[in-house]
Amino acid sequence: MTDHVYKTVELTGSSPEGTDAAVRCAIERASKTIRDIRWFKVTETRGYVEDGKVAHWQVTLKVGFTLED
């Protein structure tokens, strides 16, 4: 096995639907500019409330990708 190096960036996705949708939103949006995303880890789950109901969900992720040579 050869040596390799990963980089991690922190992203926050948001969605009116729920937590899993907010994660998918962040990953799919980030994949437009970052090639080779491999994994994510949830670091914070928040949400905003309007008129007594959850209006949108906001999930912060660490996202890891391979550094290309």
E strand or H helix at 28: helix 19-30
Q: Shortest distance, CB of residue 63 to a copy of itself, whole angstroms?
A: 8
Classify residue 22 as exposed, middle or buried by CB count within 10 Å of its CB (0-12, 13-18, 19+): buried
Question: Which of the residues 25 through 64 are near a copy of itself (CB under 8 A)?
Answer: 25-32, 37-42, 44-49, 52-57, 60, 62-64
Single-letter code of the amino acid located at 67: L
Interface with a copy of itself (CB under 8 A): 1, 3-16, 18-20, 22-32, 37-42, 44-49, 52-57, 60, 62-64, 67
